[in-house]
Chains A and B, each alone.
Chain A
Amino acid sequence: MVPAHGLLSQAACIADEPIESLVSRYACDPHALVQILREAQARHTWLPRDMLSFVASTLGLTLAHVEGVATFYRFFHTQPVGEYRVLFSDNITDRMQGNAALLADLCQRLGVEPGQMRADGRVSVDFCSCTGLCDQGPSLLINHHQVVTRLDAERVARIAFLIEARVPVSDWPAHWSRVDDHIRRADVLLDTPLPPGAAIAAALARGACGLVDEMTTSNLRGRGGAGFVTGKKWELCRDAKGSEHYMVCNADEGEPGTFKDRVLLTCHPDMVFEGMTIGALAIGARRGLVYLRGEYRYLLEPLRDVLQRRRDAHLLGTAIQGHTGFDFDIEIHVGAGAYVCGEESSLIESLEGKRGTPRIRPPFPAEHGYLGQPTAVDNVETLCAATHIALQGGAWWAAIGTPRSTGTNIHSVSGDCDRPGIYEYPMGTSIDRILEDCGAHDTQAVQVGGPSGKCLSAMEFGRRISFEDLPTAGAFMVFDRSRDMFEVARNYAGFFAEESCGFCTPCRVGTALVVKSMDKLAAGRGSRHDVDLLSGIDTLMHGTTHCGLGGSACNALHDTIVKFRPAYERRLKSLHFEPAFDLDAELADARRATGRDDAAAHLESTP
């Protein structure tokens, strides 16, 4: 298992730690593979094959297995990459803020091709999936660790200069990495003061059973997207047989346009950890794991400091708050760039050091989770709500919101509005209301719940956020009438193709086919047949994929084809069949070989 925390944070300071001691620090535990690879790469820039081989033999794994894991995560490199690895966040909101031009500008200044390493090994520049900074973008991630927000041409020019001058990233202007919380509207969750430990004391007073009863009364449902009733999950997990029970916090906030968990982890980490501790009491767990997405690597040290402070205050560790037998501690596992790991069974696979492929379910993690033991996986916001419920009672939470969707819900608002940021509302709040509060004008569409959620047109803005009408995992992206909804869907299509785990046929091939078709449409070579084909792939993926992520990969495509069909149709070159390739261009070789270039050597050009 992962060794004691003090040792971890101590060793994290050893920048030049040899790989041998890194592996032994993790007690040669194969379940720590992802963490070992992440730390090894942080020291050595990339993961050469002989390093993978060494790690494999030390952990008792095959090289092929380690290669499989290392090539699964987007942030791992098994080929040389630059000393400076610059990744531009590529959510549609970053696109709307001009990230593509800024990337091109940086590449030109540095003399490097996107996606490739400069010949001298100094720098690599590429895009990456949304880094959760949509309210202060465009943003980029350097060396899978440090972020730069609010990019503009001037900042890009300075970055190019600093990279050429080989100035360490730690010496770059600190304010570039400032991440604002932008809490624009706080309700009970964000606005109720909570002294650390108060909710644990309340939970202990209620007892484990009483606590689960309060959770059930509250009817709190998971905020990560699936919406399972938290009290029910905890009860199932508590009652499941196992030698250990585990409490896992899902902080793999990968849905593009979502950043509420980042803000909760920044502003209210105690509330999150307290929720895990309460959950541990409810299910009988002694160990907790936070799965922190790799994009939020910069939060690791502050979060570890909070954990240490809580240990010092007897809010973690043995005999919490002096309560004999209540032992619980939390470790943080950092991801390495894989959206699919937000799915709870993939997340558990990743925690176990494997490829993040979703498991066959049932059995569900509550019965058969981490290391095969009963495991409760809850989203960051869900755990915060649980903390409040432990303190104030289930009836209090149930009185907020709607009868079927209780409490409040936090929205990450970005895109075309005056005040992007975090908005907490009671469940049941209408889209109109949120648009008004965030200062959106002339709004054409809102993507609720991210690319896997719903795309709403103006006539639907009266709909309400709730499990019975519009469920959401937190993203709220606003598009005004100047935006091309085809390009929105195309951006999302690229995201899903990049993030497909590759396990099942429809998602692995389907997401790639969608990108091909949309690129064809964007190039003006599409026909109605292509639009129909896209609809066919959408239908197939809804019904046949292995996990829910594949099933929702075509949601935005579906919604935009239905609601914004003119955005597709104005791209159709003809309403008849149009080949994907340029017939005349294909004849170029034949023309060269025959030395002809007269009109008769060309196909008739289409008007």
Chain B
Amino acid sequence: MTTLTKAGNTGVTFSLDGEDVPFKPGETILQAARRAGRYIPHLCWHPDFHAQGSCRVCIVRVKGRAGSACTLQAAAGEVVESNTDELNAERKMLLQMLFVEGNHFCPSCEKSGNCLLQATAYEMKMEDVLFEEFYPLRPIDASHADVLIDFNRCILCELCVRASHDVDGKDVFAIAGHGIGTHLVVNSMSGKLVDTDMALTDRAASICPVGAILPKRRGFVIPIGERRYDPHTAADPGTQEAS
């Protein structure tokens, strides 16, 4: 079943939607696909950080079983399905869930055009939100001099949590609550960003794939029409990371 297939001299491969993708030992399906310039939709995954597997948008099917491409180890000769109508429909529904869970008003969002959630939704041909919105009440944290947090747009990808821990060594963020009440919290007695040692130069300040963590006083510095996903789509290589 798992016969070793060779792709030129590059080594062992697996098949992604019928095309061979080479991989190094220990790589996940998403890592290998990414290196090969192949697109598997994702939100919570970033090449610089350990996989989290929570957004589930990178769902793929291997031997009839579904799993997240960011956590599944690539295996020689394996047949991986990703870009199928069925999986894309599931991705679309996951995106619709994220859109109704928070408050995402793209037209008024500074991240519009640079937003991975929005771009992925376009890519998955999402035209409506399908479900009834939750309209949660999530106050903004504008306490910090340079960084704004708009929790309304948070999709709980935990990239800021990982960046603040792994790169900045500050642990400014954590996840609290449970179920639909799960939310991002800030590590200070007041719970406000101003009382942390967060700096604009922190990786956590620029890692957010949506418009939840934004630098202040940079509104529309890049005009609409010249933003990342204006000339590109989320499927284009190298367009998927904010930083």
Contacts and interface: CB of A to CB of B under 8 A. Distances in A.
Nearest to B131: A513
A516 interface: yes
Interface string B162-189: 0000000001111111111110011111
Interface string A496-512: 01111111111011111
A236 to B, nearest CB: 18
Given A64-B187, A536-B93, A502 B71 contact: no
Given A64-B171, A497-B180, A506 B132 contact: no
Nearest to B97: A509
Contacts of A506: 56, 94, 97
A496 to B, nearest CB: 9
B98 interface: yes
B61 to A, nearest CB: 8
Interface in B25-73: 51, 53-57, 59, 66, 68, 71, 73
Contacts of A497: 179-180
Given A505-B56, A533-B131, A510 B97 contact: yes
B172 to A, nearest CB: 8
B241 interface: no
B100 interface: yes
Interface in B87-143: 90, 93-94, 97-98, 100-101, 130-132, 134
Contacts of A49: 189
A280 to B, nearest CB: 31
Interface residues of A, number: 42
Contact of B181 (A64, A360, A502): A502
Contacts, number: 117
Interface stretch (A22-30, A152-160, A542-550): A542-550
Nearest to A515: B180
Nearest to A497: B179
A50 B190 CA distance: 11
A64 B190 CA distance: 11
B59 A512 contact: no
A543 B174 contact: no
B186 A516 contact: no
Contacts of A505: 54-57, 94, 97-98
Interface stretch (A66-74, A115-123, A178-186): A66-74
A501 B178 contact: yes
Nearest to A356: B178
Contacts of B57: 505
A147 B68 CA distance: 42
Contact of B56 (A72, A362, A546): A546
A516 B178 contact: no
A503 B181 CA distance: 11
Given A65-B171, A68-B185, A506-B97, A512 B180 contact: yes
A504 B171 CA distance: 22
Contacts of B173: 64
Contacts of A537: 93
B90 A67 contact: no
15 contacts: A62-B174, A67-B176, A360-B51, A360-B53, A498-B179, A500-B180, A501-B178, A508-B156, A508-B182, A509-B180, A513-B131, A533-B131, A540-B90, A544-B66, A545-B56
Interface of B: 51, 53-57, 59, 66, 68, 71, 73, 90, 93-94, 97-98, 100-101, 130-132, 134, 156, 171-182, 185-189
9 tightest A-B contacts by CB? A502-B182, A64-B187, A64-B174, A509-B97, A512-B180, A500-B179, A68-B176, A71-B176, A68-B174
